Amino acid sequence: MLLCSTSCDWNIVIQFNPYDATGYGPIFEEEPLDIVYTKESPDRRISMNCRARANPAPTYRWRRDNWEIKLMELPNEHYSLVGGNLIINNPEEKKHAGTYVCVAKNVYGTVISKEAKVKFGCEYCREP
């Protein structure tokens, strides 16, 4: 085993093993699912789940229709991130319907979730 060490004036020795295998890239534990949002929904929000196990902990990004979502950069945007979960407040069909993926990343790697579609519908639709 190779150990690198250094010392300083305070008699502290710091050792680092470059072959330490405790770190690893993200592995999905939960991926987003397809959603049909009904306009009659009392919640007025959509929650898409994404959770990955990694060491160090991953950071998360989301994409809609292959474009990265800029979370809360514009005052009129509806998106926010809670952990790895994407929250869409006051969803609108023209702005939010589409195909979403979650991206989890750390220094050891990047994983992209399976695709999840957000569609809009109505709870009590009538056939013409």
Average pLDDT over all residues of the chain: 84
- CB contact set of 26 (below 8 Å; sequence gap of 6+): 52, 53, 54, 58, 104, 105, 106, 108, 109, 110, 111
* Per-residue pLDDT reduced to its tens digit, 59-70: 999 999 999 998
* Per-residue pLDDT reduced to its tens digit, 75-97: 567 899 999 999 999 999 999 99
> In degrees to the nearest 10, what's the CA dihedral of 110, 115, 116, 121?
150
Residue 14 falls within a domain, yes or no? no
How many distinct structural domains can be found in the chain?
A: 1
Would the pLDDT of 44 be above 80?
A: yes
**Residues spanned by the domain of 103:** 24-121
Which helix (H) or strand (E) segment is 70 a member of?
none
Instruction: Give the model's confidence band at 12: pLDDT under 50 very low, under 70 low, under 90 confident, else very high.
Output: low
Residue 31 falls within a domain, yes or no? yes
Residue 33 falls within a domain, yes or no? yes
Residue 72 falls within a domain, yes or no? yes
Instruction: Give the model's confidence band at 43: pLDDT under 50 very low, under 70 low, under 90 confident, else very high.
Output: confident
Residue 87 falls within a domain, yes or no? yes
Residue 39 falls within a domain, yes or no? yes
Residue 2 falls within a domain, yes or no? no
Residue 3 falls within a domain, yes or no? no
**Average pLDDT of the residues in 36-53:** 92
CATH number where 34 lies = 2.60.40.10
